[in-house]
Amino acid sequence: MKLRRETIAEGIELYCGDCADMLLNLPRGAIISDPPYGRNFHQSGKHGRFALCDETKSATLRGNPPIANDDKPFDPTPLLTFDNVLLWGADHFYPRLPDRGRFLAWNKLVYMEPWDSFSDVEFAWHSGEGAARIFSMMWKGMACDKRGENNGVRDHPMQKPIRLMRWSIEEAARGGDTSLIIDPYMGAGTTGMAAVLLGRRFIGIEIEQQWFDIACRRIAALVAAKEREPDLFASKPQLEASS
């Protein structure tokens, strides 16, 4: 596919393309990403959401567009050539991870009791050594902490909160250099927004045009807001531009 590049600001570069074609030529940086897990999710046709597609689902769902590259087991091997790697969804592909590093957990319910069949916690693997850590922030269905998160509006069905990805960058800093953050599976650009808030350089890659366009808009809006009101973002770095 033809590669498209957008430079949002100095040190903030976004690419619409397949990360598999770019990894060998990227500068060395910290990989922080939420990759496809290999669970065969397809768009459900309802509000742009995704649903697990298996033999129990209808032919209509199986005919809808899948998450790119989610129809096969995720192989983290190409990303492990980087020295500092943090990947969410690690519980889905941990057999293919090295026998080293540490796990991080995201408690999505905080103090609430479980009420459905979906996971209440998500896990990340970090290549650095150190203690396992937990990040607590309510972000499950309608029960979400909307502060600084565009009032809970999600541009991507699998979108993670900015505060979680900011925390991820801060945790990754315990394992090496994070002056350049690289997200090969950028989605709607949340990792890039966290990088902007922390003053890091960022390279984001997204294969799907619709998510790439949203990422460009979100990150550009945050960069502009930070330039307009640097003192506000210095004192409240978790805020997201409302535009």
Q: pLDDT for 175-204, tens place per residue?
A: 999 999 999 999 999 999 999 999 999 999
d(CA 202, CA 191): 9
Question: What are 200-222's pLDDT values in tens digits?
Answer: 999 999 999 999 999 999 999 99
Question: What are 132-163's pLDDT values in tens digits?
Answer: 999 999 998 888 898 988 888 888 888 999 99
| Residue 77's pLDDT band (cuts 50, 70, 90) | very high
Tell me the residue ranges of DSSP E strands in the chain.
Answer: 4-9, 12-16, 30-33, 41-43, 50-52, 85-88, 102-107, 121-126, 133-136, 139-140, 143-144, 180-183, 201-206
Separation in Å, CA 213 to CA 16, 26, 64: 9, 21, 21
What pLDDT does 151 receive? Answer: 84
- 42 pLDDT above the threshold of 50: no
What domains does the chain contain, in order, with CATH numbers? 4-38+73-235 (3.40.50.150)
Beta bridge mates, 106: 122, 135
What is the average pLDDT across 102-125?
91
Provide the mean pLDDT of the chain.
Answer: 85
